[in-house]
Each structure stands twice: as C-alpha cells, then as structure tokens.
Amino acid sequence: MSRDPRPPLEPVTTDAAPTSYGSRPRAPWHDALLHAETSEALVGAVHAATRVAADAVRRADGPFTGADPGVLESRVAATDLDTPLGGLDDALSELGPLYLDDAVYFHHPRYVAHLNCPISVPAIAADVIASSINSSMDTWDQSAGATMIERRLVRWTADRIGLGPRANGVFTSGGTTSNLQALLLARDHTLMLCGEAVDSPALHRLRILASEDGHFSVVKAASLLGMGGDAVVPVAVDDDRRMDPEALSRALSRMREEGLVPMAVVATAGTTDFGAIDPLAAIAGLCRAHGAWMHVDAAYGGGLLASPSYADRLAGIGSADSVTVDFHKTWFQPVASSVVVVRERRTLRHATYHADYLNPVDADPEEKPNQVDKSLQTTRRFDALKLWLTLRTTGADAIGTMFDACIDLATAGAAAYRARPGVEVLLDPPLSTVVFRVRPDGVPDGDLLDRANDEARDRLFASGEGAVAATKVDGRSWLKLTLLNPATTVADLEHVVDLLERHAADVVDEADSSTRSGTREAS
C-alpha cells in the first residue's frame, strides 16, 4: 500500500538560498545529513567506502603487518580532530596509515587465532542498509518491520534448537550480554520460586555451576547480578575437557545439604579453548532432578544448528531453559550479532521495565510489540538484518557446510601436527580449535618451554606472517588454532607451525647463549 507523502516541515529561517527540499531554505546542514535530496550522495559515499575496504582486503598479504603499537598511537594522536579535511575522499585516504594498512585481517587464511570469522558479503550489504535507515530496536514506533524480522529470526533459531512453541528471545551485542541476560532471568525466576525478593538475603545463597573451562562471562555475570564471583562453582571436566556429570551431581547434592540454592547450571557447547561440548542431555536430567535452570552457552558451538554433518553433537540442547548463540562467530556474520533464546517466554518479564515516554505499562503488546520489553539494552541496532539477508541469499545449509569445513580442517590439522616430532597436540578437536605446543629438541617441560612457545607466538604475530592464540593448561603455556575460515588449508597450518618451530628454536638458542655468557662472566 502506498504511503501519502508527508507534509513539508516549517521553513527554517536562514540566509542561504532556498531549494526544493520541501519549502525550506537550504540550511548549513543540508549536505551533511541523509534525506531525500542527499540520497544519491549516500550511494557515492558507500561506493567510495566499500572500494577502499575492498582494496584493503585485496592488498593484505598476511593477517597483520607487525606494526608497533607506539607508532600507530602516535599517528592517531597527531590527527587534528578539530579541523575537518572537508571531503570524504580525503578522510578515507587518511584511514590508510591510521587503520587499514595495519589492520588485523580475519579473512586471511593464516589468521587462526581467535573466534573471528571471515564475513558474509550479503551481511555487509545488510549493515549498510541498517546504518542508513538507522532503525532503533527498542520500540515499535522506531523499528516497525525490523521488529518483525528480528522476531522471526528468534523464532527460527528457537525451532532449530528445539525449545518448543512458547520460546522467545532477543538479539544482543554478544555472548557476554546474552549470558548475562540468561542468568538474570534464572536469578529472578529462582528467587520468585523461593518467594524471595531480589534484594533479600536469599540472593547470597544462590549458586551457578559451570564447567571449569566455561567462559569468564559467567563469573562476570554473577558479579554484576550482585551475587559475587564466588557464587560460581567450577565443575570438574573429564579427559575430553567436558563437564563431568558425576562431578556435577555431587556438587548439586552438596549444595542442598549446605542450604545453598543451585540457581543455574551453565553447560557450554563449544568451550573457547578446546571447543568441548558438555554432555547436554545428562546435564539436563540433573537440572530437572534438582530444579536448576539450565543455560547452554552455545556462543561458539551454535553454528552446529546449521550443520549438515555434525548437528547431533548438540543432542540435548532442546532441553535447555535458555541458550546463547553468537552469529558473529560460526555463522560468518559481522560483529555484533548474538541472540539469547528462552524456552518459556514469560521468563523474559524479569528483564522488563517500563517508562511512560518509551513503553508505558498499559501499552498493548500485540498492537505495539516493543522489543525493549525483553531486552537489557534500550537503543539497539538492527543487527538481525545481517543474518536475514545471509539466509535469504546464501542459505543455512551453506553456512553449516562452511562451518563443517572448519571442523574437518581442525581434525586434519591436528593429525598433521601429531605427525611432526616437534609438536604436541593436547586432544582431538571436538569443533574447530586445536590446542598444541612446539617443543624444540631436548627442551623438557618447564619455564623455558613455556617461554619458547609464548615468544614464538609473539614473534609470529610481529612478523605479520601468521596469528595464533595462546592459553594455559594446568599452568603451562600452550598455543591454539581457532579455525573459522573454510578457505584455510592444511598447508597454511603447516606453514604456520614451521614458523613457530623456527621462532621457538631461536628463543632456546638465545637462552643457551645467555646462559653460557653468564657462566663465562661469573668465572
């Protein structure tokens, strides 16, 4: 249905010459803002910006240049922000030395460090549209159709998880926020069942149980929720780094004996270091038996919801009370795009606050579906559009196939590393991470081996030829591949470990030389 043209605004008094923009004279801001008469300028600006970005991506011959932080800081500090350059082309050119020339490029096949993925081209187009229209996802009268698209994607995600017809949820800025909201809902739901208020002494009897390899955001959430970080009880993992159900059962029973309340169990579907997927079905049974909320942090492993080959690794996730999925990890979306989904939509009321100027309490949720009613955030970008355009263009099966390729690469990469005498692999990868370390000839476990691996990683990154992550296992230094690029090959991984072995050997040689030099001086 066509929309009647809006009446022109009242003229603005100015000395500038009038234009056809309604009946208003030309104002000083006329060319600076997006409106009907500058809409073609948007096309040119976006074309220029995307050309600069495309050129930068094409020129990047490594994941990083090794630029020194001090050099980059001095360049940025020397920029006079009080004196504009006067044109977009000049400002875009300036971005080269300030940002683009030395950016970290996640699309490069030798970037194998963190949970950063190459991104879908339709999703980038969606970001342009979302930024241009600038819908705010808090209320219906600021978003309209955007609200319906987000809600449809939440429903679609809930169906993929298997949460049932009463499921609901909302997009967030990332896994940390999604986990925080899920645990807020769990806290208030538990206190309500106990007949207690949020500010009652009962709050400090609540406990959250999570794998000892769970994400740090769980402890952060407990602190933000007034429970304190000590309210998170770490549960032991098995040899595959998965939460041990027997250890969980003992911890739940012990809490009841001590008069504590197991508010929630956080199961992880894809730990950050190992990609381990906790035994979700077994955990769900224990949560039901002890009346604990079950949250699944599938920020990483949520990509399996689209997997043609490995979706069964999420068996049991449909029993959760809430689930986190990060689309900007294993769904190849730009930052930020995450969702928290709950089994029972009524629990979202624990995140609801009303304001007369925004979402009055007497507003009909059917006539005015305000997303702020179920969100911790107020103003939010229309980040759901990225996933929508990707699904409508590329499709879920293609997304899942790309993630499957990363999982297969991790398996092949781990096998190739195990075949090398100077490389140790900690365990078979359940998803797309490989935890390993290099061991120069004759170097035993200890501080020197830790130093060799830590410095080898730093030198690799500084060289610009590759990027890997680091972690600690039982207090010792290990390295980590995080594989989210289906274009990466085993040959790329072999090249990376060749460089790491060379750098580690140099560190050991330098340490030996230093020791010999010190011995000579002492004598």
Percent of the chain at pLDDT above 90? 89
pLDDT digits (tens, 9 = 90+) for 165-195: 999 999 999 999 999 999 999 999 999 999 9
Distances in whole angstroms, Cα of residue 321 to Cα of each of 113, 327, 358: 32, 20, 29
The H or E element that residue 124 is part of is: helix 121-133
Closest CA to 377 of 208, 143, 139, 166: 139
Q: Which two tokens stand for residue 358?
A: 């925004």
CB 136 within 8 A of CB 380: yes
Is 13 a residue whose pLDDT tops 70? no
- pLDDT confidence of residue 16: 42
With cut-offs at 50, 70 and 90, classify the pLDDT of residue 18: very low
pLDDT digits (tens, 9 = 90+) for 495-517: 999 999 999 999 999 998 876 66
With cut-offs at 50, 70 and 90, classify the pLDDT of residue 355: very high
Q: What is the DSSP string of 345-399?
A: GGGGGGG----TTTS-TT--TTTS--GGGG-S-SS---THHHHHHHHHHT-HHHH
With cut-offs at 50, 70 and 90, classify the pLDDT of residue 522: low
Is 20 a residue whose pLDDT tops 90? no
Q: What is the pTM of this model?
A: 0.93
Average pLDDT of span 419-435? 97
What are the structural domains of the chain?
A: 135-389 (3.40.640.10), 397-522 (3.90.1150.10)
Average pLDDT of span 52-60? 97
Give CA–CA dist 274/271, Å, rounded.
6
Percent of the chain at pLDDT above 70? 94
CB 479 within 8 A of CB 417: no
- pLDDT confidence of residue 3: 47
With cut-offs at 50, 70 and 90, classify the pLDDT of residue 24: low
Average pLDDT of span 50-76? 97
CB 210 within 8 A of CB 218: yes
Instruction: Give one word for 295, left, alpha or beta, with left for phi > 0 and alpha for psi -120 to 50.
Output: beta
With cut-offs at 50, 70 and 90, classify the pLDDT of residue 25: confident
Average pLDDT of span 483-491? 98
Backbone angles phi, psi at 518, to 5 degrees: -65, -35
